[in-house]
Structure 1
Amino acid sequence: MKKLLIFVLAAGAAVTTISPADARGGCGVGFHRGPYGGCRPNLGPGPVVVGPRAPVIGVYYGGRGYWDGSRYWGHRYRWHGGWRYR
């Protein structure tokens, strides 16, 4: 019985002294150790891709013209406190 108790205590001590593995291995945030010991970037979902925004009313877009909310116009001028497109 004493041998079993010593074995259980030794196994418990061995389990408590084991530390969890550090996957980064000193490479920093976003990197991990590769098979040959070099730092490699973590593969994830990839970069965030932002598409073009919707046109803003009254802004000039090169090669198109001014956007008035429904179509592009080549020229605009002030008229009664606002803009008039032609």
Structure 2
Amino acid sequence: MTHETGQPAAVQDPHPAVVVQKRDFIDRVIAATGARRTDARPIIEATLAQLGSVLSAGQTLAIPPLGRARINLEKDARGGDVITLRLRRRPAPNETDA
């Protein structure tokens, strides 16, 4: 889609990011699954650790419904790696009806 000027149309206006902290993320997963906190927490933490390991190794993730995440840029900065990802997601079934 392009504007009359021939410039590509913006997908969405930029907006401030809402940060979801680990504690809130775990609470959301527990609420969505109905699992007990003592059972779910170690599994969620291990999953997050594996996601971090795979991305640090420079590998591409293909995990539906999250999508396909590949490293776009990686820099070694003071205090740790800075990894810029490109995440491609398929639209949810109800989004394609619009």
TM-score by length of 1: 0.23
Larger RCO (alpha carbons 8 Å, 6+ apart) = 2
Please say which structure displays the higher CA radius of gyration. 1
TM-score by length of 2: 0.20
Structure whose residues are more often helix by fraction: 2
